[in-house]
């Protein structure tokens, strides 16, 4: 059975845009089994490197350009044991949660041991516009311990955007 009217996260998986790991196949982070509900942080936050310099015997500083630097982020990430990523109900929430976490580890949170150690991600804005960046994800962490409800478990998803922002 596939559920489309009820969603455990309070809105459809794409209500605040989507985040997808590019690959073959692509790995969406906004599904019926798990969801990054608030992606607005990734819309505008970024980090810079560089600073203005003091010139001896001159007032103020000399301006120097800054560049984007890698940017670390932290987002709330919800996982349910009730549904598969496609929205099909699991018969057992415990097995469903184990299965969903296993899929997430393999597709997102296990280390990338080649190249720059990052995953190419596409951020799709609610308008439909897309932005990309290379992201190194840290291991998934429980937000609260112990888990009290297998229907909705809160995690913290952290990572580093190598380019400093999605563009």
Mean pLDDT of 40-69: 85
6 has a pLDDT exceeding 60: no
Q: In whole angstroms, what is the distance from residue 100 CA to residue 17 CA?
A: 21
Task: Tell me the backbone φ, ψ of residue 164, rounded to 5 degrees.
Answer: 95, -20
Residue 4: its pLDDT value, please?
47
pTM: 0.83
Closest CA to 82 of 71, 72, 95: 95
Lowest mean pLDDT among 56-60, 74-78, 133-137: 56-60
The tokens describing 4, both together, are 């489309």
Which tens digit of pLDDT belongs to each residue from 104-139? 999 999 999 999 999 999 999 988 999 999 999 999
DSSP state of 29: S
């Amino acid at each position: 059975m596939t559920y489309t009217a009820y969603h455990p996260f309070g809105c459809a998986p794409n209500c605040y845009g989507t985040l997808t790991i590019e690959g073959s196949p692509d790995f969406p982070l906004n599904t019926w089994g798990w969801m990054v509900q608030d992606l607005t942080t990734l819309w505008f936050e970024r980090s810079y490197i560089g600073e203005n310099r003091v010139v001896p015997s001159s007032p103020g500083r000399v301006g120097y350009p800054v560049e984007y630097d890698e940017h670390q982020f932290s987002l709330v990430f919800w996982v349910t044991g009730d549904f598969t990523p496609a929205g099909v109900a699991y018969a057992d929430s415990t097995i469903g949660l184990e299965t969903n976490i296993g899929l997430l580890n393999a597709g997102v949170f296990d280390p990338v041991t080649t190249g720059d150690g990052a995953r190419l991600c596409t951020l799709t804005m609610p308008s439909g516009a897309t932005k990309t960046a290379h992201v190194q994800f840290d291991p998934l962490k429980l937000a609260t311990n112990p888990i009290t409800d297998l229907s909705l478990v809160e995690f913290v998803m952290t990572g580093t955007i190598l380019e400093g922002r999605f563009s």
